[in-house]
Amino acid sequence: MILNRRFYIALSLIILLLGSGYTFAPLFVLGQWMLFIMLLAVLAEGYMLYRIHGIQAFRQCSSRFSNGDENTVNIRVESSYPYAVSVEVIDEIPFIFQQRNINFQIKLQANEGKTITYQLRPTHRGIYNFGRIRIFVQGRMGLLSRRYTCGDTQDVKVYPSYLMLHRYELLAISDNLTELGIKRIRRVGHHTEFEQIKEYVKGDDYRTLNWKASARKHELMVNVYQDERSQQIYSVIDKGRVMQQAFRGMTLLDYAINASLVLSYVAMRKEDKAGLITFDEHFDTFVPASSRPGHMQTLLENLYNQETTFSETDFSSLYVHLNKHVNKRSLLVLYTNFSSMGSMNRQLAYLQQLNRQHRLLVVFFEDADLKAYIATPASDTEGYYRHVIAEKFAFEKRLIVSTLKQHGIYSLLTTPGNLSIDVINKYLEIKSRQLL
């Protein structure tokens, strides 16, 4: 039983009346009667609240959450009281969210139930623990509240952003991928895999006309080509300390994991094979490229518990072990982050060796906060100095792109927010130009 604020206000007024009775005797008698009435009201309200178990509640949410996305949580509250009650609902969400505002005030009519919906956005992968649901039911007079403890504790696994995959899948079905920013890349030539000959329809490329077949059929016929299939696409993720930098609550490693998951999904839709490699100072995870059913779940489970380390990344170990495990020429999408020309030059020899045997795409990150700071005008001398230093860092990133290009290595400089879209567009470009 919990005494509400209204109870203490009423009790304070009664105490004032009793105290005033020393100067004006009728007020003391009035205070005694008010105290008696209040005690009767408390007993009556306590009986009404406790005579039945009047509240039930339970939590409804997915057994796994998507990292970096809004995940829906529903709380169903049902009342079996024969009269209207005011209810405060507090959900014990995982402490990692550091939110103290997950409490809701609702009013339930007699034998009524309501569903409360709210959103949670995790920024770290792992296991999150929900506690119990605490419900405080206030009586009709508002003097007392009864506390109910409902629901069960629940563990929820936070996986890389699988909700993003569902968005891509729905837009791919409706052929609206351009809404996400995925470009339609014009083919420079034709792939070598011939599929069929079909009748010409308006919109077909006239350069694919098959004149011999047209002469035999006495109507225009065109050759149909298909994209070269079963190519290997490996997402190579750096887990060193350079990937611990955070943007909007998520580390660069989390953005790289989400992007690699989406890229693997798109590659498998293109009938390519998707694989995974992670490394830091040691060669760590290796998932062979495949397109078999259930392979996306395998990738998801391997990406689920990846964490950054404080160690320096060893690209020589990556080169040695990758040659042992990957024999066929593949597209290697390397997610890393070079902070300066010096850090890139130390790894350039290994990047060149990887690029000789495979098609290497180096993906690294532009500092979105630094870019926003450069866009703001400076107001004093110190501000000008800060802007010069910031522009120097931004220029060095562009210089890294230029240096990699001079050595024949493809690169992509992008912000964490645009990473998935930019990586997919680069993959489609490499496929369309037959660069693999």
Distance CA 47, CA 143 (A): 12
State which residues of the chain have pLDDT below 50.
169-177, 179-180, 182, 184-192
Contacts for 45 with CB less than 8 Å, ≥ 6 apart: 139, 140, 141, 143, 144
User: What pLDDT is recorded for position 228?
Assistant: 55
- Distance (Å, whole) CA 35 – CA 43: 12
Cα(276)–Cα(287) distance, integer angstroms: 5
Q: How far apart are CA 146 and CA 135, in angstroms?
A: 8
Q: pLDDT per residue over 23-76, tens digit each?
A: 888 888 888 899 999 899 889 888 888 888 889 999 999 888 888 888 999 999
Which pLDDT score, from 0 to 100, does residue 171 have? 45
CB 160 within 8 A of CB 126: no
For CATH 3.40.50.410, the residue range(s) in the chain are 162-170+174-185+228-432
Beta-bridge mates of residue 207: none
Q: Tell me what pLDDT residue 139 has.
A: 80
Closest CA to 198 of 224, 226, 227: 224
Tens digits of per-residue pLDDT, 281-330? 999 999 999 989 889 889 988 888 888 888 889 999 999 999 899 989 99
DSSP, res 97: G
* b/e code 354-375 from CB counts within 10 Å (16+ = b): bbebbbbbbbbbbbeeeeebee
CA angle (207 as vertex; 202, 213 as ends), nearest 5: 80
pLDDT value of position 164: 65
- Looking at domain 1-159, does it have CATH number 2.60.40.10? yes
Q: In this structure, which amino acid lies at residue 183?
A: K
b/e string for 55-68 if b means 16 or more Cβ within 10 A?
bebebeeeeebbbb
Q: How far is CA 33 from the centre of its chain?
A: 62
Tokens of 102: 């997950």
Between CA 51 and CA 59, with CA 54 as vertex, the angle to 5 degrees is 150
For residue 137, the tally of other CB atoms under 10 A from its CB is 21
The helix (run of H) or strand (run of E) holding residue 378 is none
What are residue 318's phi and psi, to 5 degrees? -60, -45
Which residue do the tokens 């009728």 mark?
Answer: 26
* CATH 2.60.40.10 segments of the chain: 1-159
- CATH class of the structural domain 162-170+174-185+228-432: alpha beta
